[in-house]
Structure 1
């Protein structure tokens, strides 16, 4: 990282503190341009297929174990179709304990309700973003999002430092470790299916991510406090995820995630005990845009806070990512220039969320 990223350009303001202060108007720093303000119209796209529910496809992973080959094939095809047409889908019967999911969400909610001085012990900087934070991007005077977060590394193991993870609640580190282990297993399972659906070797994405020793994984826990003017701001501005794939554990009490579908923003209604999975920019590049990362954003609520856990499954930081040779032909030339994931996400860490502008900037000149 460059020297300009050694410290935040302005004093950090905790959004939770603003929310709990009783203000009735949000500071101008959080007021979005009219074109960027949220739309609260919930668009429900229903299908005659039972696999589409509450806007985005819902897939039962238990069907992958079926003794009926046609059911297994249908499930794999549903995942392929979701990646090609939506970039988002929800999965149930995924193998992760519902109790662990609830405990993970609960322990992080407890963390964000600790006294400010306890949380401040883990305050982050833009060097690595690891720790307790309240802004993305280092643009001085830039518009900010209505959220706080905690970011930590899980893989590769040399980057993992559980001393940087919250020491309170006392079960937090143990639960993070267990949750991360299960999340990695599920992500590996999904990337294997994506590789097969692309016509590649089952281990293709796993290998291109760096295998067991180099693949990356990190967790960002997002806390969206109550907001007195939710129609003027966003919890997280429009962006596509820069990494490989995201495994999101949402708060089911109140919807917050919105996914761009053409010219509309669809509010996703989380299914209890489901994960929301979405394609990141690195898989868009590796698949030569057969699979696309999709813009999404988060709205906030005047009456309820929200907590969500975004587990990012990524290539190793120093691995060069480019379209798979097997997917490049004379009719379908490589769309993107090679770059490492570390170089790529430096853009996000410098500029904050900027829609799809970064992945578009990688396109090869014709």
Structure 2
């Protein structure tokens, strides 16, 4: 199954639509009623995803370290999402990388169009996910780039304006990969595996790491559309730097949508489909989506930390028992990603469709 070289229809920049000031959104962004945001199906506003202080992992007190590991374990098993603070990234880097991307999206259109992307790699400036002709689209633009493996990283495909963007993104990327390595070890230990099991399964130092920066323009009819349709992330795990000033991420929990409230300088971590497969569904990737705002734009950075693309991924043999047989066939991340890219966001249906018949 190959990937078409071009989009099925002319690409429209959502930011340009927003800037016209039209009070009505085009029909192709209007979601079916069952998929629209609804305040009637929201849990109490004081519910939020778990918060983990990562300084506890290096505390001299063994009890504090154990408690922090346990917090992460519970978050992975019960939520699939958590926020981390004291993660080692400097506050000025966290603020700076978000704001430099906001500046990019406010560059003139000819600056951005130089980096217009194609479905063959998705790398560059984009406005749609998936290749179905006539699909209902999301109210967002984005920028996608590769960091690891280094063979895929090409600074010429990273924006050259603002002038310090490449340097800031390089520093941020290095820190996110460090954080990913730490959490893979924590997950391995919590699952009862060797401490380096997940890192080795992901390819050792040859992991994949790529960034999608999401730009959600103001939307005159936010009750009719979504910034990003419901989906689970196809990769290993995701590090999301949210817009601290405008909430938008919603996580599905017990058939309700919980709106995540970002904490200052926090980073949101979520389990992807590949870790669901390796853990044999002890850890589950969770559906999430993004709502849009009538008065304010949003910028968020989703960093995907993935297995090396050509390694076979399957449930860890140590987690397979007669009571818990293997749920998934072996598949490379490349094969899985191609399966996803042709279809676009589709809730949890992709990973669920892989389950072996019982």
TM norm. shorter chain > 0.5: yes
TM-score normalised by L of structure 2: 0.98
SS at match of 1:270: coil
Contact 1:124/1:130, CA 8 A, preserved across alignment = yes
1:307 is aligned to 299
Q: Distance in 1 between matches of 2:45 and 2:94?
A: 28
2:233 is aligned to 241
2:106 to 97, 101, 113: 113
2:26 is aligned to 27
1:284 is aligned to 276
SS at match of 2:195: coil
Q: Distance in 2 between matches of 1:5 and 1:130?
A: 14
Please list every run of 5 or more consecutive structure 1 residues that lacks an aligned counterpart in the other structure: 47-53
Contact 1:44/1:55, CA 8 A, preserved across alignment = no
1:172 to 162, 165, 171: 165
Residue 141 (structure 1) aligned with residue 134 (structure 2) = yes
SS at match of 1:211: coil
SS at match of 1:8: coil
1:208 to 181, 201, 222: 201
Q: Distance in 2 between matches of 1:110 and 1:68?
A: 43
Please list every run of 5 or more consecutive structure 2 residues that lacks an aligned counterpart in the other structure: none
1:355 is aligned to 347
Q: Distance in 1 between matches of 2:71 and 2:178?
A: 20
Q: Which moved more, 1:258-267 or 1:35-44?
A: 35-44
Q: What does the per-residue CA deviation read over 1:86-106, in whole Å, with 9 as the maximum and x for residues that have no partner?
A: 000000000001100111001
Alignment of 1:257-296 (within 5 A): 257-296=249-288
Contact 1:195/1:202, CA 8 A, preserved across alignment = yes
TM-score normalised by L of structure 1: 0.96
Deviation, 1:45, is: 6.9
Q: Distance in 2 between matches of 1:242 and 1:181?
A: 22
SS at match of 2:162: coil
1:99 is aligned to 92
CA RMSD, aligned part only? 1.0
- Corresponding residue pairs, total: 357
Contact 1:132/1:149, CA 8 A, preserved across alignment = yes
2:150 is aligned to 157
Q: Distance in 2 between matches of 1:65 and 1:36?
A: 43
1:49 is aligned to none
Contact 1:119/1:132, CA 8 A, preserved across alignment = yes
Q: What does the per-residue CA deviation read over 1:172-221, in whole Å, with 9 as the maximum and x for residues that have no partner?
A: 00011000000000111011100000001111111000010x21000000
Deviation, 1:325, is: 0.5
1:339 is aligned to 331
Q: Distance in 2 between matches of 1:347 and 1:19?
A: 31
SS at match of 2:151: helix
SS at match of 2:50: strand
Deviation, 1:249, is: 0.2
Q: Distance in 1 between matches of 2:156 and 2:174?
A: 17
SS at match of 1:91: strand
Deviation, 1:365, is: 1.6
1:51 is aligned to none
User: Which portions of structure 1, spanning 4 or more consecutive aligned residues, are displaced by more than 2 angstroms?
Assistant: 39-46
Q: Distance in 2 between matches of 1:332 and 1:136?
A: 35
Contact 1:318/1:342, CA 8 A, preserved across alignment = yes
